[in-house]
Structure 1
Amino acid sequence: MSSAPVPTIPHDTLLVFLLQLSVLLLLALALGRLAARFKMPAIVGELLAGVIVGPSILSHVWPALADWLLPKDPGQMHLLDAVGQVGVVLLVGITGMELKFDLVRRRRLTAVRVSLAGLLLPLALGVGAGFLLPASIQSDDKSPTVFALFLGVAMCVTAIPVIAKTLMDMNLLHRDIGQLTLAAGVIDDIVGWFLLSIVSAMATAGLSTGTVATSLLYPMGVVLAAWLLGRPLVKAALRAAGRSASPVPTVATVALIVLLGGAATQALHLEAVFGAFVCGALVGTSGELDREKLAPLRTTVLAFLAPVFFATAGIRMDLSALAEPTVLAAACAVLAVAILGKFAGAYAGAKMSGLGRWEGIALGAGMNSRGVIEVVVAMVGLQLGVLGAEAYTIIILVAIVTSLMAPPVLRVAMARIDESAEAEMGLAGTPPRDLAAPPSAAV
């Protein structure tokens, strides 16, 4: 006896879903362009699109419309979330493809010092702040230790896309300090994804010796398996796809590799974005990728899927929570920890490498950009139940403020650094001609 067919999406559910996508995409693109017009990262406008239609504004101004456009039905919101999740998995995959590992090799000692100092200090300060924040800010479902560890990870990440776009817009990408900032950011990104996967595993499986050990071994096992088994398979698949003059096989193959990588780590109870990042790095370092053929995938992700993801992230912000004195005080404290910790750490790493004061300030400003990666971390924390609405809003606020403050500080610092002096500081090495801001920097 055959089973009954699965019912299709109800008419009203599909209608609301299509209108949600249309409204969010229209607002995200319009506000993203407006933000770019004012020399701000597009992600600021895209997040603001969600803030406008979410509980921060529309729910207060026009409650009936807000309830119709964003109903409380979980199934309705899951449709929107599904589109956003596909977008963030592909976006993270593209970011992994664009990492320039040759930068790390050419400036490895200085880059490692700047990166580790700029990562460990905010990590430690973030963990400490997590333990000190009021219980009302912390999640009721997870232990204070998991919350503190997660906040530490959120404080230590760096957003390569925002850094690269800022340096490109300011015509600083060719400068040695700009290259060093990108190299240190690559290391931060890699370590940050590892830490996120480990803390996420702890959040789902609980805190125990076995869980901690598994959380450490699983990410390393994924990377080892990807290098030994995945790398030759990825090269063979891209080589076969590249034989076609059409970009379609290459786009389909790359998308399939990234999605399967996300599915693999999700099956291991790690985050899908970790697998997407690893597979993106495999694709980018394979030597078989024709980047021109990948343009349709980049365009689709950056013009459609990524803006929708950031808009859905903005929907979950509730700025009205900042009216509470406790939440506002916590937001100010976390923002101070994020900015000062990353800045002081990168500055200390620069001084340990023999760089000057303004070079250290420029590196601190560049590394402070959180942008895309911070939003991904916040969304992961919300999905796992590690972050409540207040803590989520605070972390998204950190992403916005740090991305906005980087350009003016960089502009002041770089104006005081003589290009000829950079060569005398041991930052020799001309960047490769094909080095450009990652396409994902548009977000």
Structure 2
Amino acid sequence: MSTEQVTMLFFALALISALAFGAGALARRFNQPPVIGEVILGVLLGPTLLGPVSEQLFPHDVRPFLAALADIGVALFMFAVGAELDAALLRGRRAVAGTVASGSIALPFALGVLLALYLFDSHPTDDKTGFVLFMGCAMSVTAFPVLARILTDRGMQRTWLGAVALACAAIDDVLAWTLLAVVVAITGSGSGDQWLLLLFLPYLALMFTAVRPALRRLLAHPKVTGSEQPAAVLITLVGLLASAAFTEWIGLHFLFGAFLFGAVMPRRPGEGGPAEVTGAVTERIASLNGLLLLPMFFVVAGLKVDLSGMTGTDVSELGLILTVAVGGKFVGAYTSARAIGMKNRPATALAVLINTRGLTELIILSVGLQLGVLDGRLYSTMVVMALVTTAMAGPLLHLLYPVRPAQPIAPEELAVPSRRRDRLM
């Protein structure tokens, strides 16, 4: 790197960190999750608002370094998502969460496939199958971390409705990443040879049968857990980066490796000491990542968005995409919830919450852009959809539950006989 590149890189880091913190704080004042402000900031720093000035702030020869930092930020974020997904969320809620999650994925996926067939002529790619499957996947996403933040801000994270929403989002996330893995494999756009993908299943088995028990033993060792857990942080960072490197090498994408390493981290209270270590390590990693590295992703994603040249066709496509995205998720979740006996208000609230897409959608869209299944115009339109579906969740939830519940929203809100209710829970 030249002196000029180093200077511009550090200037960009300072500028992005400061502006992202301010954008997140501003979003909170409007009762929105910080990710909304940070993503809008990224879009505004791109050509949409600044035009040629954007290239002066973030020169093309500096952007690859920003992109590398963004990749690290996304890897750390995906680790945190995996670490927060806990099978205990499904305890006593498998029937409800499984039914609602299935409906909230199947219908938007099917509608997304039909939408892709309609859009393909105006956004052709080399792989029609990959494009169609990707659009179905993109319409099926629910952002688990953003949903958790919205529920916490509303004081609903420990209510029955909040727990079911989180369980549904957890299932949605796992299925969405699985679908995306299929798309990556089909497009053949990864860095590795196609036969290397066969290594993923043995790797998956190895992670759960060998790595997870090893981590449980390591994180229970006194020398690892002492002195503010520097050894635990180091073990975690080395493990998640190595896992990310492996899945990138076999051609699957690094985010799957980071997510998988988070998923095998010991976290349940029944696992004793390692669960507390996992929580502390995840919190320390997420804190640094949220202040420095992850904002790089928002800016890099925003630099690729250009809404300044939107035509009437683009606007009509945006309306169609929003209709499919919002309508598919809402109708799929709502009808599934009502079918198992949930009352109208909690079923509506659950359908609203499941529509939250947030950063998870942006990551998937970025992967689609990298794979070549999205062009710049469609990518920009889909980013707007991600913002709208995330921003609307908080206000709509406030309309349904205007006062923070003093008592937990109980399972009695299920309009089913008590015996059947017991089976559902």
- In structure 1, what is the equivalent of residue 337 of structure 2? 350
Relative distance call for 1:19 and 1:115 in structure 2 (3 A) is same
Relative distance call for 1:219 and 1:159 in structure 2 (3 A) is farther
| Match status 1:17 vs 2:9 | yes
Separation (CA, whole Å) in 2 of partners of 1:242 and 1:353: 47
- In structure 1, what is the equivalent of residue 287 of structure 2? 299
Secondary structure of the structure 1 residue equivalent to 2:115: helix
- In structure 1, what is the equivalent of residue 109 of structure 2? 123
Secondary structure of the structure 2 residue equivalent to 1:319: coil
- In structure 2, what is the equivalent of residue 327 of structure 1? 314
Separation (CA, whole Å) in 1 of partners of 2:229 and 2:196: 40
Separation (CA, whole Å) in 1 of partners of 2:196 and 2:337: 35
Give the 5 Å matches for 1:396-407. 396-407=383-394
Separation (CA, whole Å) in 2 of partners of 1:41 and 1:101: 25
Separation (CA, whole Å) in 2 of partners of 1:85 and 1:271: 11
Query: Which residue type is aligned with residue 162 of structure 2?
Result: G
Is 33-42 or 23-32 further displaced after alignment? 23-32
What TM-score does the superposition give when structure 2 sets the normalisation length? 0.89
Equivalent position to 1:83, from 69, 77, 87: 69
Separation (CA, whole Å) in 2 of partners of 1:420 and 1:11: 58
- In structure 1, what is the equivalent of residue 34 of structure 2? 42
Secondary structure of the structure 2 residue equivalent to 1:123: helix
- In structure 1, what is the equivalent of residue 303 of structure 2? 315
Relative distance call for 1:332 and 1:98 in structure 2 (3 A) is same
CA contact (8 A) 1:194 1:219 kept: no
What TM-score does the superposition give when structure 1 sets the normalisation length? 0.86
Separation (CA, whole Å) in 1 of partners of 2:44 and 2:327: 30
| Match status 1:229 vs 2:215 | no
CA-to-aligned-CA distance 1:249-302 (integer Å, 9 cap, x gap): 111111222111111111111111111111101114473141235433221012
- In structure 2, what is the equivalent of residue 171 of structure 1? 155
Separation (CA, whole Å) in 1 of partners of 2:157 and 2:422: 15
Query: Which residue type is aligned with residue 229 of structure 1?
Result: A
- In structure 2, what is the equivalent of residue 154 of structure 1? 138
Separation (CA, whole Å) in 2 of partners of 1:294 and 1:124: 36
Secondary structure of the structure 2 residue equivalent to 1:386: coil
- In structure 2, what is the equivalent of residue 197 of structure 1? 181
- In structure 2, what is the equivalent of residue 434 of structure 1? none
What is the CA distance between 1:245 and its match in structure 2?
A: 2.6
Give the 5 Å matches for 1:263-274. 263-274=245-256
Secondary structure of the structure 1 residue equivalent to 2:384: helix
Equivalent position to 1:70, from 58, 80, 85: 58
CA contact (8 A) 1:157 1:374 kept: yes
Secondary structure of the structure 2 residue equivalent to 1:239: coil
Secondary structure of the structure 1 residue equivalent to 2:188: helix
Query: Which residue type is aligned with residue 412 of structure 2?
Result: A
What is the CA distance between 1:320 and its match in structure 2?
A: 1.6
Query: Which residue type is aligned with residue 307 of structure 1?
Result: P
The unaligned stretches of length 5 or more in structure 2 are none
Separation (CA, whole Å) in 2 of partners of 1:397 and 1:219: 34
RMSD: 2.5
CA-to-aligned-CA distance 1:133-188 (integer Å, 9 cap, x gap): 153334x4x32221111111111010011111111111112221111001111111
The unaligned stretches of length 5 or more in structure 1 are 1-8, 432-443
Secondary structure of the structure 2 residue equivalent to 1:326: helix
CA contact (8 A) 2:67 2:296 kept: no
Equivalent position to 2:220, from 227, 236, 239: 239
Separation (CA, whole Å) in 1 of partners of 2:258 and 2:123: 31
Equivalent position to 1:260, from 224, 228, 242: 242
Query: Which residue type is aligned with residue 297 of structure 2?
Result: F
| Match status 1:360 vs 2:366 | no
What is the CA distance between 1:421 and its match in structure 2?
A: 6.1
Secondary structure of the structure 2 residue equivalent to 1:249: helix
Is 352-361 or 335-344 further displaced after alignment? 352-361
- In structure 1, what is the equivalent of residue 20 of structure 2? 28
Separation (CA, whole Å) in 2 of partners of 1:324 and 1:158: 29
Relative distance call for 1:359 and 1:130 in structure 2 (3 A) is same
Separation (CA, whole Å) in 2 of partners of 1:285 and 1:230: 14
Relative distance call for 1:176 and 1:197 in structure 2 (3 A) is same
Query: Which residue type is aligned with residue 99 of structure 2?
Result: R
CA contact (8 A) 1:104 1:186 kept: no
Query: Which residue type is aligned with residue 241 of structure 2?
Result: L
- In structure 2, what is the equivalent of residue 4 of structure 1? none
Relative distance call for 1:197 and 1:349 in structure 2 (3 A) is same
- In structure 2, what is the equivalent of residue 435 of structure 1? none
Separation (CA, whole Å) in 1 of partners of 2:139 and 2:409: 34
- In structure 1, what is the equivalent of residue 364 of structure 2? 377
Equivalent position to 1:423, from 381, 394, 412: 412
Relative distance call for 1:202 and 1:405 in structure 2 (3 A) is same
Secondary structure of the structure 1 residue equivalent to 2:48: coil
Equivalent position to 1:95, from 81, 94, 119: 81
Give the fraction of aligned pairs with identical amino acids, expressed as a percent.
32
